[in-house]
Structure 1
Amino acid sequence: MKNSINKVMGFVLAGSLVFTACDKKLSEYNPTGLTPDVTYTTAKGFETLVNATYTYTRFWYGKEEGYGLSEMGTDIWTNGTGDVFPQLSRYDNLQGSNTTALNLEWDNFYAAIYLCNTGISKIGGIPDYTAKQKTQREAELRFMRAFYYWHIVETWGGVHFTTEATAPGVIESTANKTPVETFYTQIFEDLNFAVKNLPATATDYGRPTATIPVAKAFLARMYLTRGMNAEAAAMADDLIKNPDYMLLPKFADLWSMSNLKNKEVIWSIDYSSNLANNDLVSSAYPSGHSRGSNNGHMLFTQVYDQVNTSLLIRDIPNGRPFNRYMPTKALLDLFNENDDARYQASFQVAWLCNKEARTAGNSFNTKDTFDFKLGDTVCYTSKSTLTAASMNAKHYTTYDISRVYNAAGVPTNRKFYISLKKFMDPTRGSFNEAQSARDVFVIRLAEMYLIAAEANFNLGKPDVAAGLLNTLRTRAAIPGHEAAMQITPAQVTLDFILDERARELCGEQLRWFDLKRTNKLMDRVTRLNPDAAQYIKAYHTVRPIPQSQIDAVTNKNEFTQNQGYQ
């Protein structure tokens, strides 16, 4: 594991544990000359440690590597032509040596774990903290440790586990394999401590401060993950009844850049509108990883600027099209766009002229030319099957479902397709700006309704589950279509709940975990994602350990690669 240095509040913190072979040289970047033993002995210095533990969330949330590990390789997304991690998207030759996303997240989540362990071990010795401050800061650190360990254990299974701090400069050359249950025992212990000792509200929105509701919401997710359905239902219900939170009246309201700090969001990763504050400074990360802001706005967008360059050029409202991911046909089929407003709120289906010209606007019928004005349709994508005659009669180019997917659902066109727009940012400073100030919603109240519904269904209470789902579906209904969106208890199945989670949460970095938790990963990928179906195997319920980690440890007989991988 590489040493990870985080730039936080003007301090550079060094001393994260590093797994490395004994003959490798450890290089640390520490221009202040401060060491952890000095920095972490005062309240001011210790605050930098606590702040630093939060920064590692930015290596996952709103970042391409995190999307690759949490949304791809599922039933609802497949790869566009720009996908740089096709192994994660399709399981095609997925190994620990061929996906840098695995290395990045492994290195930084373990760096976060060891920073949390260091803080927890030192908190008692901070002389200028009150007893209450010590307990609260320990609660924050324990919440963050639980948060990171969940990502680690669900992604890689029973890998290295420790709660011990590592002395500055110590290089560990061995790693352990620890049962998954041990991880969860610690996760629940830490979260229960956090629920009892965190503050009720955040005092600084500038960092994603853990609070009692945040810990309860994450605990509800953990209960559901471990099949503790009664506890999951009760904890989620506690959040649903909390007057400090509410579902926004309209699903679309969630995604406005002017409304990011709203009462539906329980916890988010805050990105600053001042991009310079978002760690886009490579010198702060000697490993070369420059984190920057949210880049989710680029990843799900078709290359609209290649549809017709005479009429449609790259601009700020339509985003910078990285063309990484596209919806599976199965995801689009989950929506009834005539009743469910989430379809229009989630996806962009039309692109309008932003460059006037007289030209042939239909790439499938170029014999006629027309005068295109600003705002005229240039590209339209439909989830329905349209006749070739009707599409060719249009002045603009149409990509209906038959021009994007074949009858089996395999994409035949990975450049032009219906695009997720939830994460778009029209406030960016230029059309090529890769960084967005959009906050990433890690937990929102809608998830609590879905957790409670799933838990109650598992408890044999489909009537309660249907009521919870209907609350979300009423909010999602196109005005006047509320009755059409209601379901009966008889309609509630585990697959229906997963369908509803896809409609509500698609793209929000939960899908892979949802399918793993419900033991539906193999089933739904095999049935609904033909790109990945041909490659997925039972062992893909965990990801491969980075090969660099396997190579670095000296106890290679004990710390081995996950089963099925090389």
Structure 2
Amino acid sequence: MKRTIKNILLAAVVVLASSSCSKILDEYNPSGLTSESVFATPEGFESLVNAAYAYQRWWYGKEEGYSMSEMGTDLWMSGAGDTFPDLMKYINLQGNNAALETEWKALYSAVNVCNAGIGRIDAAGLAPDTKAIRLAELRFLRAFYYWHILQTWGGVHLSTTETAGIITTANKTAPEEFYALIESDLLAAIKDLPNTSKDYGRVTNPAARAFLSRVYLSEGKYKEANDYALSVIKGNYGFELLKNYADLWNMANLKNKEVVYTVNYSTDLALNDKSDEILNPLGHNRGSNNGHLLFLMKYDTETGMQRDLGNGRPFNRYMPTRFLLDLYPEGDSRYAASFKEVFYSNNPTATVKLGDTAVYATRRTVSNVGKAYKVYDRNYIYASDGKVKDQLRYPTLSKFLDPTRPSSNEAQSARDVFVIRFAELYLNAAEAQLRLGNRDSAAHWVNIIRARAAQSGKEEDMKVTAPQMTLDFILDERAREFAGEQIRWFDLKRTGKLLERVKAHNPDIATYIQDYHQVRPIPQTQLDAITNKDEFTQNQGYQ
């Protein structure tokens, strides 16, 4: 039987459940149980709340989520292994795209779990203090999922009640109504969320404030965006920028003071429900964070190299635009902390010794003459106009690598995904201040980020001034800071710069992107399943 968005709910008697936010999965015996009996107990209701958190894993750290939130922008081009080139290049992008279908189902399933919890919490038997916090968590999560839906598809279906039975219609709802619900949910959540949580990964008061700052930027409410960003920056919540940008990506340092909100994964990979018909009801191969696979060049076929843990398993999905590589000035430590250019031999040959440089894939122009190693420089990788010439060899985004995996072929990673870092609050404040006409204040907040990024002795060179503050500069700075962190497409859409910057900086897709690509096509499976097809129609521009 076909299902529409309104009746995709965890089957009441079988729930994704966890302790410490989805780290451990429990399965209820379905024999004789109903949702009324399970969710009417404190233990059963806790399983519902944990299920609501678990759906974040369908987007964060997943190839589908990366393709929808980073690709098709000014920063990335298709590597040879790209499995969703229509999302990257906007060529033949239609509602039959598998990534869009997966995320639509997951996000609406998540919303329905949140709606169920909000509607059932009064009968759950929770202690008053716990009840207030769990309700706040559910309202935050509903806002979180609806923001992703709104940004991705525009004014599509909106519901605040749990589905009961089979529903075969859907509604089109104005973006303003989405924002009204998102705002009210977040403001309500902020009232009752604690400042900290012993369960790492649960939302806290400052995390909700930070996300509301992002929402207000999306909505064009710049004073409010600034106020909520500053409420976290100045709120004495214990957050701080790490001294070294590179330390953010150390697997031993994931729980650090810069992380405001995270989607966490278990170090026991078996608990991340990679393939389970019961615990993973929407399909197989969700598993753990797979961001470590996606940005790696094909190094393991080069002379003197073989696949190993340190260099990663190269799926070769995405490669940087020349524009992205050139954004980092001399003296900016974020380039070396984000990109890997040199591969040292781990498979010696007659011509390449163990530990010697085997491959150098660089953004620079470098002569290959007299080199004992292979050089792939900017002129080898890119044409004179910036179009890609080689989709296999290029500087590799390395910040998501995970050398703690059990083997070099392991596709899963226990790396947590940083959804909101403290750095974002500074750049949110800078953008809001710029929009409000306060360039001096914008430069002040940007300079805090650049001071952390500056290499020793380059601090003065990295400083910027008020006249340099433009929307494009702030987008450049966000690219340097957040490259690959599943936010770029939203940044460009929010600022109205998606078409302009893709056309200016991504020559591989510049001729294909159109104005209607600022929302994604509604999955065809959804359109086929509903009966009110004349009312709930495909987004304009798509077939």
Give your verdict on TM over 0.5: yes
One-letter amino acid of the structure 2 residue matched with residue 211 of structure 1: T
- The CA distance in 2 between the partners of 1:32 and 1:423, in whole Å, is 42
1:159 alignment partner in structure 2: 156
Retained in 2: the 8 A contact 1:4–1:285?
no
How do 1:190-205 and structure 2 match up within 5 A? 190-205=185-200
**What residue is the counterpart of 1:231 in the other structure?**
224
Q: Which position in structure 1 is the counterpart of 2:21?
A: none
**AA of the residue aligned to 1:350:** V
Structural mapping, 1:124-203, within 5 Å:
124-127=122-125, 129-167=126-164, 170-203=165-198
Write the distance in 2 (CA, Å) between the matches of 1:549 and 1:44.
34
Instruction: Select which of 343, 348, 353 maps to 1:351.
Output: 343
Amino acid paired to 2:257: K
Partner of 2:471: 494
Q: Secondary structure at the match of 1:379?
A: strand
Q: What is aligned with 2:258?
A: 264
What is the alpha-carbon distance in structure 1 between the residues aligned to residue 398 and residue 103 of structure 2?
26
Residue 242 (structure 1) shift: 3.0
* Structure 2 Cα separation of the partners of residues 503 and 77 of structure 1: 13
The amino acid across from 1:130 in the alignment is: A
Q: Which structure 1 residue ranges, 5 or more long, are not aligned?
A: 14-29, 359-369
Counting only pairs closer than 5 Å after superposition, residues 446-485 of structure 1 correspond to structure 2 as: 446-485=423-462
Tell me the equivalent position of 1:68: 67
Q: 194, 213, 216: which one pairs with 2:209?
A: 216
For residues 160-181 of structure 1, give each alpha carbon's deviation from its aligned partner in whole angstroms, at most 9, with x where no partner exists: 10101122xx011000000011
1:307 deviates by 2.0
1:503-523 deviation per Cα after TM superposition (whole angstroms, max 9, x unaligned): 000100000000000000000
Aligned to 2:363: 383
Q: Deviations over 1:452-497 (max 9, x none)?
A: 0000011111101101111110100011110000011001100000
Residue deviations 1:268-327 (CA, integer Å, cap 9, x gap): 11111111111223222244333111100000000101222xx10001100000000000
How do 1:227-306 residues align onto structure 2 when only pairs under 5 Å count? 227-243=220-236, 244-283=238-277, 284-306=279-301
Is 2:505 aligned against 1:544? no
Structure 1 residue matching 2:308: 3-state secondary structure: coil
Write the distance in 2 (CA, Å) between the matches of 1:49 and 1:382.
48
Match in the other structure for 1:335:
328
Residues 309 and 407 in structure 2, CA contact (< 8 A), matched pair in contact too: yes
For 2:33 and 2:347, the matched residues in 1 are separated by: 55
In 1: Cα distance, 2:348 partner to 2:162 partner = 63
Q: Is the 8 A contact 2:222 2:436 kept in 1?
A: yes
- The residue that corresponds to 2:22 in the other structure is none
Amino acid at match of 1:155: T
Out of 100-109 and 194-203, give the one that drifted further.
194-203
Equivalent in the alignment of 2:87: 88
| C-alpha contact 1:4 1:287 (8 A) present in aligned 2 | no
Question: For the residues of structure 2 that align with 1:12 and 1:53, how far apart are their CA atoms?
Answer: 15
**In structure 2, how many angstroms separate the alpha carbons of the residues matched to 1:39 and 1:542?**
39
Contact 1:142–1:194 (8 Å) recurs in 2: yes
CA deviation after TM superposition for structure 1 residue 186, in Å: 0.1
1:117–1:163 Cα contact (<8 Å) kept:
yes
CA distance, structure 2, for counterparts of residue 429 and residue 263 of structure 1: 27
Q: Residues 136 and 198 of structure 1 are in contact (CA less than 8 Å); yes or no, is this contact kept in structure 2?
A: yes
Contact persistence 2:9–2:113 (CA under 8 A): no
Q: By how many angstroms is 1:11 displaced?
A: 4.5
Query: What is the one-letter code of the residue matched to 2:420?
Result: I
Provide the rounded CA distance (Å) in 1 between the counterparts of 2:269 and 2:448. 37
Distance (Å, rounded) in 1 between the aligned partners of 2:166 and 2:94:
26
| SS of 1:498 mapped into structure 2 | helix
Does structure 2 conserve the Cα–Cα contact (< 8 Å) formed by 1:8 and 1:51? yes
Measure the CA separation in 1 of the matches of 2:474 and 2:282: 41
Q: Distance in 1 between matches of 2:306 and 2:142?
A: 45
Q: Which residue of 2 aligns with 1:107?
A: 105
**How many residues are matched?**
526
Once the two structures are superposed, residues 308-359 of structure 1 have per-residue CA deviations (whole angstroms, 9 ceiling, x without a partner) of 2xx10001100000000000011011011x310000000000111001221x
Displacement after TM superposition at 1:131 (Å): 2.3
Match of 2:16, SS state, is strand
Q: Is the partner of 1:272 in helix, strand or coil?
A: coil
Are residues 33 and 532 of structure 1, via their aligned partners in 2, closer, same or farther at CA, if it must alter by over 3 Å?
farther
- Provide the rounded CA distance (Å) in 2 between the counterparts of 1:351 and 1:64: 25
Specify the alignment match of 1:364 in structure 2: none
Give the distance between the partners of 2:299 and 2:180, measured in 1 at CA.
48
Looking at structure 1, the residues matched to 48 and 420 of structure 2 have their Cα atoms a distance apart, in angstroms, of 24
Cα distance in 2 for partners of 1:160, 1:385 equals: 50
- 3-state SS of 1:153 partner: helix
CA distance in 2, matches of 1:126, 1:276: 30
Which ranges in structure 2 are unaligned for 5 or more consecutive residues? 19-24
Q: Match for 1:112: what amino acid? A: A
**Residues in 2 aligned to 1:132 and 1:285: alpha-carbon distance in whole angstroms:** 31
Q: CA deviation at 1:135?
A: 1.7
Aligned equivalents of 2:281, 2:60: Cα separation in 1:
21
1:8 to 10, 14, 17: 17
AA partner of residue 238 (structure 1): S
User: Displacement, 1:124?
Assistant: 1.1
Partner of 2:353: 373
Note if contact 1:7-1:279 (Cα within 8 Å) is conserved in structure 2: no
Give the 5 Å matches for 1:493-532.
493-532=470-509
Corresponding residue number in structure 2 for 1:408: 385
Give the C-alpha shift of residue 402 in structure 1. Answer: 0.4
Distance 1:290 1:400 in 2: 36
CA distance, structure 1, for counterparts of residue 32 and residue 517 of structure 2: 44
TM-score w.r.t. structure 2 length?
0.95
**Distance in structure 2 (CA, Å) of the matches to 1:450 and 1:40:** 41
Query: Partners of 1:550 and 1:392 in 2: how far apart?
Result: 58
> Letter of the aligned partner of 1:113 in structure 2?
V
Partners of 2:419 and 2:389 lie apart in 1 by 33
Aligned to 2:253, the other structure's residue is in SS state coil
Provide closer, same or farther for how the CA distance between residues 213 and 357 of structure 1 changes in structure 2, counting only shifts above 3 A.
Answer: same
Matching residue of 1:23: none
Distance 1:198 1:32 in 2: 36
CA shift, 1:63, in A, is 0.4
Taking the aligned partners of 1:58 and 1:499, their CA distance within structure 2 comes to: 28
RMSD: 1.3
- CA–CA distance in 1 between the matches of 2:297 and 2:31? 45
Question: What letter is aligned with 1:334?
Answer: L
Tell me the residue number matched to 2:315.
Answer: 322
- Tell whether the 8 Å contact from 1:521 to 1:541 is kept in structure 2 after alignment: yes
CA deviation profile, 1:336-389 (whole Å, cap 9, x unmatched): 1x310000000000111001221xxxxxxxxxxx3x221100100121223xxx
Q: Which amino acid aligns with 1:460?
A: G
1:532 match: secondary structure: coil
- Is the contact made by 1:76 and 1:529 (CA closer than 8 Å) also made in structure 2? yes
